[in-house]
Amino acid sequence: MPILDLDDVDKKLLDILQENADLTYAELGKILGISPSTVYTRVKRLRERGYIKRIVAEVSPEMMGYNLRSLVFLSVDVKKYNEIVNQLLKYPQIKTIYDITGEWTFAIEALVKDHKELTDLLDNIGSIEGIQQTSTAVVLRVIKEDRKVSPV
């Protein structure tokens, strides 16, 4: 669906929910100047149209014991592409897989407890048939991490 079917209230609702999805329909209605039932209808419609993929709690990785984040770049045999993707999807430590352009085929974000778990994960990734080369960068600190998307 094109963004053209969003009115200003929908856009503001999406903006608010991305900042705080914990607000009730009554609280959202008060902010937007519409009834809670209208908010409910709009949220439902935004979900059905695919604008809202899901509403989740953002949990602190560090509070859960995941203290090491890394970026892993992979170069792969394209004939093994699908098999490699299927193998990578099995690792819960891999949080994001991007298919990218340039010298690397994939960029992966991994979240692990410690260096040993990272080493084990890298050994496992390296043993996947079709992986040709890897390069790993440990994230020292996150300066900006923003998943918020505003309508264009």
Tens place of pLDDT for every residue, the chain, 152 residues?
455 689 999 999 999 999 999 999 999 999 999 999 999 999 999 999 999 999 888 889 999 999 999 999 999 999 999 999 999 999 999 999 999 999 999 999 999 999 999 999 999 999 999 999 999 999 999 999 988 888 76
Residue-range definition of the domain harbouring residue 20: 3-48
Query: CATH number for the domain including 111?
Result: 3.30.70.920
DSSP structural state of residue 56: -
Query: Quick check: is 84 in a domain?
Result: yes
- How does 113-150 read in b/e, with b if 16+ C-beta sit within 10 Å? eeeebbeebbeebeebebbeebebeeeeeeeeeeeeee
Whether 71 and 118 share a structural domain: yes
Same domain, 106 and 81: yes
Asked whether residue 66 falls in the same domain as residue 40, the answer is no
Q: Is residue 149 part of a domain?
A: no
Q: What are phi and psi of 61, to 5 degrees?
A: -60, -40
82 falls within a domain? yes
As for how many domains the chain has, the answer is 2
Q: CB-based burial of residue 18 (10 Å sphere; 0-12 exposed, 13-18 middle, 19+ buried)?
A: middle
The model's pTM = 0.81
CATH number of domain containing 15 = 1.10.10.10
SS3 state at 45:
helix
Is residue 56 a part of any domain in this protein? Answer: no
Tell me: do 42 and 71 sit in the same domain.
no
Q: Which helix (H) or strand (E) holds 15?
A: helix 8-19
In a domain, 53, yes or no: no
**133 in a domain, yes or no?**
yes
